[in-house]
Amino acid sequence: MTNSNPVPPRPRTAWYRRLAEHFRLYWQLWVLTLPAIAFILLFAYVPMYGVQLAFREFDITKGLTGGKWVGLKYFRRFFNDPLFGEIIRNTFRISLWTLTMGFIAPIILALLINQIGSKRIKGFVQTITYMPHFISTVVMVSMLQIFLAPNTGLLGRFFGRESEMGNPSAFTPIYWISEVWQHMGWNCIIYLAALSSVDVALYEAAKIDGAGRLQLIRYVDIPAIMPTAGVLLILNMGSVLGVGFEKVWLMQNTLNITASEVISTYTYRIGILDNQFSYSTAIGLFNSVVNFVFLIVANTVARRISDTSIF
């Protein structure tokens, strides 16, 4: 980047000449990208470099990477942590339920909305179903608390004297149902886009062959959204251990903690609240690596099976 001079009089080597020529032509594009590169290096790659803290003792005087090397000590501690099994089970349970239901619901909703003939009703249903997407996590969780309040809440009055928010076995259903409620409308936009690009001739041809409404959905609509669904499924696999921190954290309380402690909340508790920086970093790294492996596996499988992949 420092070299933005015009071509030097007699370049000695071919690579040097090409580089100079490149910057002469494209230095303005470099300038336009430079802030982005700087931000990503500082705020994404510096922490990535700092992840070696997982293998070191944290030493406040020596900074992020100066502590004594201790190898896998903190990973071993995590695997031997009495909470390890529970945290992994909770994380997988919450995330698999949410991923599965959050994947299916928008597809069904899109297929249904696509059946609406009237443009106005269609627009109305879309506007309504997108709306909850803009509610913040804090407000969403407090809505859950208010509605589930025992005796007085809109739903809570049907569940007896104890709040379901404190019931460990209700945690996962409350989590995924509210996730689906909030985001299914928004997530179906992408499928509606795919459906709107279906060639009308396909419907006409199918109708001439005697296809009814359900067959049109089965043999025209569903194949039309399969590629989109495939890509989204792969992307979702990359976050199989990445249950959103905010919502779980806000829904958590001492009564449901056995079902609601997940990797991200544990990382926060250990790291920020207990100041065990190295241990927390190790748990976070474990989490990232598992996610990454899932993503790669899902991508490879999808490419083999259906030629769909994201890279």
Partner 1 sequence: MAFAAQHSRSHAGPRPHRFRRARGQQKTTRDRVVDFVIALILLLIVVAIVYPLWFIVIASFSDPAAVATGQVNLVPKGFTLAGYAKILTDGRIWTGYRNTIVYTVIGTLVNLVVTIPAAFAMSRPEFKPRRIIMFLFTFTMFFSGGLIPSYLLMKQLGLLNNMWVFILPGAFGVYNMIIARSFFEQSIPEELRDSARVDGVSYFGFFFRIVLPLSSAIIAVIGLYCFVGHWNDYFTGLIYIRNQDQQPLQNILQMILLANQTEQGSAGMTAAQSQNFADQIKFGIIVVSTLPLLVIYPFLQKYFNKGVMIGALKG
* Whole-number Cα distances in Å, 304 to 15, 174, 235, 253, 290: 39, 36, 16, 44, 21
Judged by beta carbon, residue 94 or residue 195, the one nearer partner 1 is 195
Choices 3-11, 71-79, 88-96, 264-272 (CB under 8 A): range interacting with partner 1: 264-272
> What tokens appear for 14 in the block?
């071919």
Rule CB under 8 A: is residue 190 a binding residue for partner 1? yes
> What are the φ and ψ backbone dihedral angles of 42, each rounded to 5 degrees?
-70, -50
Per rule CB under 8 A, is residue 2 in the interface with partner 1?
Answer: no
- Are 91 and 265 contacting, i.e. CB atoms less than 8 angstroms apart? no
121 binds partner 1 (CB under 8 A): yes
- Residue 195 or 259: the one with the smaller Cβ distance to partner 1 is 195
Residue 297 within binding range of partner 1, rule CB under 8 A: no
Closest separation between CB of residue 298 and partner 1, Å?
Answer: 12
182, 135 contact by CB (below 8 A)? yes
Report the C-alpha dihedral over residues 294, 297, 300, 301, rounded to 10 degrees.
-100
Under DSSP, the state recorded for 56 is B
Residue 205, interface with partner 1 (CB under 8 A)?
A: no
Q: Which is nearer to partner 1, 102 or 284 (CB)?
A: 284
Q: Does 194 bind partner 1 (CB under 8 A)?
A: yes
The C-alpha atoms of residue 288 and residue 17 are separated, in whole angstroms, by: 42
Segment contacting partner 1 by CB under 8 A, of 5-13, 76-84, 85-93, 109-117: 109-117
Q: Phi and psi at residue 160, in whole multiples of 5°? A: 85, -160
Contact between 272 and partner 1 per CB under 8 A: yes
139 contributes a contact to partner 1 by CB under 8 A: yes
User: Would you say 10 or 69 has its CB closer to partner 1?
Assistant: 69
Strands (DSSP E) contained in the chain are none
Interface with partner 1 (CB under 8 A), residue from 258, 288, 300, 306? 288
**Angle 195-303-111 from CA coordinates, rounded to 5°:** 20
Length of the chain: 311
What is the maximum alpha-carbon separation in the chain?
A: 87
d(CA 157, CA 31): 61
**What is the DSSP secondary structure assignment for residue 276, as one 8-state letter?**
-
Which of residues 14, 69, 117, 209 is near partner 1 by CB under 8 A? 117
Nearer CB in complex with partner 1: 9/311: 311
Tell me which residues in 159-188 interact with partner 1 (CB under 8 A).
Answer: 181, 185-186
Residues 47-106 contacting partner 1, CB under 8 A = 47-51, 53, 63-64
- Asked if residue 16 binds partner 1 (CB under 8 A), the reply is no
Which residues ranging from 19 to 38 are in contact with partner 1 (CB under 8 A)? 22, 26, 28-33, 35-37
Radius of gyration of the chain (CA): 26
How many residues belong to the site for partner 1 (CB under 8 A)? Answer: 94
- For partner 1, the binding residue among 89, 212, 274, 297 (CB under 8 A) is 212
Residues 144, 177 contacting (CB under 8 angstroms):
no
- List beta partners, residue 59: 63
Q: Return the residue of 77, 145, 150, 233 that touches partner 1, per CB under 8 A.
A: 145
Return the number of the residue (83 or 205) whose C-beta is nearest partner 1: 205
Please give the structure tokens belonging to residue 16. 């040097």
